[in-house]
Structure 1
Amino acid sequence: MRQFEDTDRSGRLVAVLREHAAVADAAVETPDGGGASVVRLVPDPERAPLLYRSAAVEAAGRLGTLGWHEPAADLRVAGVNRSESDFLHREIFVDDVYFRHGVELPPGAVVVDVGANIGMFTLCAARRSPGARIIACEPLAELAAAVAVNAELHAADVSVVGKAVGAAEGETDFTFYPHNSVMSGAFADADADRRTLRGYLLTGAGTEGADPQDRLMADRLAADLLATEHRRVAVTTLARIAADHALTRIDLLKIDVEKAEEDVLRGITPGLWDAIRQIVMEVHDIEGRLASVTRTLEHRGFTVVHEQDPRLADTACVNVYARRPGAPAPTGSAAPATAHHPDPGPVMWRLEAELRDLLARRLPGSPAPGRFELTTDLGTAPARPDAVAPVILPRTARVEVFSRIWASIFGAEAVRPDADFFDLGGDSLIAMRLLARLEEQLGEDVLEPDMIFTESTFGALAAAVQASGEPPSGPARSR
């Protein structure tokens, strides 16, 4: 890449970009061989703090293998994969699953998030309670790193504990599902987890619309999403965490640990029980566990309510809400997750749309930039991997078949490399039907089922469809 000389056109473009309140500075570059320009933006630290901090995280090399995901117009997070970030946002921010049945947070709350994943609940708690102090527990290193980045991104007071939480200190075997990390845990059961995920895929997409082919595809998709890695992780207890962080009260204890919930409760000492005001937890109702957990909580002085998400009707997952009768009741209806949240400025997709609109209005006829990049310093050369080069797909029979199927679902205008399956409204049922139609025309191995959830753009998926029909470059792999 080379930077444009200070021509009138590039100068006018930069001047227009600087008019946007979220832009502190900008520069324009063009490829050496010509082509669409790249705009480098310095976000305004005051008016676009979310994007400015994002750029600072990347500049410091702290994003690592994580990616930026933007599930809402005011939320940007570092995550492992897009589909899980969208799922967690919908469950926690949209469905408000943890703040029901009178559960609420006072300002300056002390919250312990056990099973934090990428920290989506942690961020929700920080928004609901100005000045909240949050202890987030996550044993998987890549997820714990995401919690730390997201806390920094949203200026939340979060201490990350990179351990599992259980009945006693020590170590344990842990199953990590990289493509479906929310189901990872110390008590993973491949068959049971496949049934749970299959039930969610079908029920979540609308059971009434699922036919036998959908169910068969759900089995295959669940198996692919539950590809397994085995880890050895450290274990601590809630009592140890409370002692290490000098907690004299816990306003809300959230537990989501995939079948280890009773072990977490066993790690609470009598004195710590008295300091806990509210508990929200997911319980896997296996062998009477829901009744056992309910008895434990009621014995400790909590009033307990439980309910099941309709989308989890074919699973054993139940949400339990426990409050002490003396806990202050919330005034009026529960406050929305953004009630006390200062304006973080735009997320990247919104800023880019606004800038493109601004340029089109102010500089009609001027070529549109190819893409926008964030930086904190225009004087620092950007590190651009080859992967950011424009995707040029071959016009082959296989790509044409995929294009026709994609267009029949999302419309002809969605047949472009950057079109994202989830942005277009795709869900699990649509994914299963897309795969089924592909396999009808191109064969069973045309596309790994989980790729839609891990890659998701038309360009990446079309390239995979094409590659699956090419001769192998090495020795044939036995099946």
Structure 2
Amino acid sequence: MRQFEDTGHSGRLVAVLCEHDAVADAAVEIPDGGGAAVVRLVPDPERAPLLHRSAAVEAAGRLGPLSWHEPAADLRVAGVNRTESDFLHREIFVDDVYFRHGVELPAGAVVVDVGANIGMFTLCAARRSPGARIIACEPLAELAAAVAVNAELHAADVTVVGKAVGAAEGQTDFTFYPHNSVMSGAFADPDDDRRTLRGYLLTGADSEGADPQDRLMADRLAADLLATEPRRVAVTTLARIAADHALTRIDLLKIDVEKAEEDVLRGITPELWAGIRQIVMEVHDVEGRLASVTTTLERRGFTVVHEQDPRLADTACVNVYARRPGTPPPAGAVPPTPAHHPDPGPVLWRLEAELRDLLARRLPGHPAPARFELTTDLATPADRPAAVPPVTVPHTARVEVFTRIWASIFGADAVRPDADFFDLGGDSLTAMRLLARLEEQLGEDVLEPDMIFTESTYGALAAAVQASGEPPARPARSR
């Protein structure tokens, strides 16, 4: 890459880009062999703090194996995989699953998030409670790293405890599902978890009347998504966390620990119980666990209600909400408003769209940049991998079959290399049906069931469809 001199077209382009409030500075680069320009942007730290902090995280090398996901126009997070980030955003921010039945937070709340995953609930709590102090517990290193990055990104006061929470301190075996981390846990049972995931896949809002083919594909998809990776993790207790962090009260205790919920409760001392005002937890109702948890909470002075998400009707997962009766709402416990937290500025996809529109209006007829990159310092050379050649979709009979199916689902306009399955509105049920129709016409193993969740663009999937029908290369003959 070489950087343009600030003259001519490049100078005008930079000047127009800097008209946007979120852009503090910009530079334009073109590939050494020519082609569309790459724009490097310095986000304004006041008007685009979310993107400015993102650039700082990357510049410091703290993103690691995580990647950026933007599930909403005001939310950017570091995550393990996009589908889980989208799922967690929908459950926590859109469906508001944790703040029901009177559960609310005061300003400056003390919150303990047990089973934090990438910290999506932690971020939601920080938004609802200005000045909240949050202890986020997550034993898996890559997920705990995401919590820390996301807390920094959103300027939240979060302490990350990189341990599981249970009945006693020590260590335990832990099953990690890299492609479906939300179901990881110390009590993971791959067979039971496959049934749970299969039930979820088949009870989506638009999945009524799932046929036998859907059910077969759900079985295969669940098996692929629950490939296991054993871990050994440290365990602490809520009592120890409270002592280590001088917690005299907990305004909201959230527990989502995949079948270990009773162990978490057993690690609470009587003194700590008295300081807990609200609890929201997911309970796996097997062997009478829901009744047992409800009884425990009621004996500790809570009023308890529970409900099940309709999408989890074929699973044992139930949400439990416990509040101390007779306690007046804490001061400041009002529905969140935009004034409760600073404007984070745009996420990258929204800023890109606004900049492309601005350039089209101000510099009509000039070629649009190929992409935008974030940086904190234009003087620092871009640290990017070698350029990846554009995806070339082969024109073969196999790809034509895939293209017809893709177009029948998303429309002819979606047949382009960069069109993304999830951006187009695809979900788990859509994936199952796309795969089923592919296999009807091209046979089994045309795509690995989980490939849509990892290689989600039309171009990448079309190339995979073609590759699956090619004979393996012959080994070289020895002489």
TM-score for both structures, normalised by structure 1: 0.96
**Aligned runs of 1:18-37 on 2, under 5 Å?**
18-37=18-37
Q: Indicate the residue corresponding to 2:93 in structure 1.
A: 93
1:393 to partner: Cα distance: 2.5
1:336 & 1:157 partners in 2: Cα distance? 18
Work out whether 1:9 is the aligned partner of 2:27. Answer: no
8 Å CA contact 1:23–1:42 kept in 2: the answer is: yes
Tell me the CA shift for residue 338 of structure 1: 5.4
| Structure 1 unmatched ranges of 5 or more | none
Equivalent residue for 2:415? 415
Q: Which secondary structure does the structure 2 equivalent of 1:83 belong to?
A: helix
User: The residue matched to 2:378 in structure 1 has which SS?
Assistant: coil
Q: Which letter does structure 1 place at the counterpart of 2:286?
A: I
Q: One-letter code of the match for 1:212?
A: P
DSSP 3-state at the match of 2:10? helix
Aligned match of 1:441: 441
Instruction: State the distance in 1 between where 2:182 and 2:337 align.
Output: 22
Larger deviation, residues 327-336 vs 312-321: 327-336
| Contact 2:41–2:374 under 8 Å retained in 1 | yes
Cα deviation for residue 127 of structure 1 reads 0.1
Structure 1's consecutive aligned runs of 4 or more residues displaced over 6 angstroms after TM superposition are 330-334
2:207–2:429 CA contact under 8 A, matched in 1 = no
CA distance in 2, matches of 1:93, 1:429: 22
> 2:20 corresponds to which letter in structure 1?
H
Q: What corresponds to 2:138 in structure 1?
A: 138
Task: Please say which of residues 66-75 and 330-339 is displaced more in the overlay.
Answer: 330-339
Separation of aligned partners in 1, 2:61 and 2:440: 44
Which residues of 2 match residues 391-406 of structure 1 at below 5 A?
391-406=391-406
Secondary structure of 2:254's aligned partner: strand
Aligned partner letter, 2:270: P
* Cross-structure match for 1:126: 126
393-402 or 220-229, which deviates more: 393-402
User: What does residue 186 of structure 2 align with?
Assistant: 186
Partner residue, 2:117: 117
1:337 to 1:220, Cα distance in 2 relative to 1, 3 A: farther
* Residue matched to 1:360: 360
Could you tell me which residue of structure 1 aligns to residue 224 of structure 2? 224
Could you tell me how far 1:169 is from its partner in structure 2? 0.4
- Using the TM superposition, give the Cα deviation of residue 399 of structure 1 relative to its aligned residue in structure 2, in angstroms: 2.5
- The question of whether the paired residues in 2 share the 8 Å contact of 1:205 and 1:429 is answered with no
Contact 2:303 2:324 in 1 (8 A): yes
Distance (Å, rounded) in 2 between the aligned partners of 1:362 and 1:210? 51
Deviates more, 1:385-394 or 1:49-58: 385-394
Deviation at 1:345, TM superposition (A): 0.3
In the alignment, the residues of structure 2 paired with residue 211 and residue 332 of structure 1 have an alpha-carbon distance, to the nearest angstrom, of: 50
Q: How does 1:308-327 map to 2 (within 5 A)?
A: 308-327=308-327
Q: What is the DSSP-based 3-state SS (H/G/I as helix, E as strand, rest coil) of the residue aligned with 1:65?
A: coil
Q: Gaps spanning 5+ residues in structure 2: where?
A: none
1:158 aligned partner, one-letter code: V
Deviates more, 1:63-72 or 1:333-342: 333-342
Q: For 2:269, give the aligned amino acid.
A: T
> 2:82 is matched with which residue?
82
For residues 239-278 of structure 1, what are the alpha-carbon distances to aligned partners after superposition, in whole Å with 9 as ceiling and x for unaligned?
0100111101100000000000000000001100001000
Contact 2:107-2:333 at 8 Å conserved across structures: no
- Residue deviations 1:380-412 (CA, integer Å, cap 9, x gap): 111222365432233233323222211111111
Are the structure 2 counterparts of residues 108 and 21 from structure 1 closer, same or farther at C-alpha, using a change threshold of 3 Å? same
Change (3 A) 1:455 1:330: farther
CA contact under 8 A between 2:42 and 2:375: conserved in structure 1? yes
Report the more deviating stretch, 103-112 or 377-386.
377-386
Whole-Å separation in 2 of the counterparts to 1:165 and 1:329: 28
Pick which of 333-342 and 164-173 moved more. Answer: 333-342
Deviation at 1:205, TM superposition (A): 4.4
Report what 1:238 is aligned to: 238
Structure 2 letter corresponding to 1:145: A
Letter matched to residue 267 of structure 1: G
For 1:264 and 1:161, locate their aligned partners in 2 and report how far apart those are by CA, in whole Å: 14
| Number of residue pairs aligned between Structure 1 and Structure 2 | 475
Alpha-carbon offset, residue 334 of structure 1? 6.3
Matches within 5 A, 1:35-50: 35-50=35-50
Q: Which residue of 2 aligns with 1:167?
A: 167
Structural mapping, 1:145-164, within 5 Å: 145-164=145-164
Cα displacement string for residues 42-63 of structure 1 (whole angstroms, at most 9, x for unaligned residues): 0000000000000111111111
Where in structure 2 are the equivalents of 1:325-364 lying within 5 Å? Answer: 325-329=325-329, 335-336=335-336, 340-364=340-364
Distance 2:453 2:387 in 1: 19
Q: 1:104–1:163: structure 2 CA closer, same or farther, 3 Å change rule?
A: same
Deviates further, 122-131 or 3-12:
3-12
Distance 2:209 2:429 in 1: 8
Q: Could you give the per-residue CA deviations for residues 332-383 of structure 1, whole angstroms, max 9, x where no partner exists?
A: 9962485622210000000000000000000000001111100101111112
In structure 2, relative to structure 1, the CA distance for the partners of 1:422 and 1:339 (3 Å cut) is: farther
Secondary structure (helix, strand or coil) at the match of 2:340 reads coil
In 2: Cα distance, 1:397 partner to 1:330 partner: 65
- In 1, Cα distance between the equivalents of 2:15 and 2:195? 57
Cα distance in 1 between the residues matched to 2:204 and 2:155: 33
Equivalent residue, structure 1, for 2:264: 264
Comparing 324-333 and 248-257, the one that deviates more: 324-333
Aligned-partner residue type, residue 471 of structure 1 = P
8 Å CA contact 1:124, 1:337 repeated in 2? no
Taking the aligned partners of 1:6 and 1:141, their CA distance within structure 2 comes to 44
Task: Indicate whether 1:279 and 2:279 are aligned.
Answer: yes
The 10-residue stretch of structure 1 (395-404 or 290-299) with the greater mean CA deviation from structure 2: 395-404
The separation in 2 between residues aligned to 1:181 and 1:141, in whole angstroms, is 12
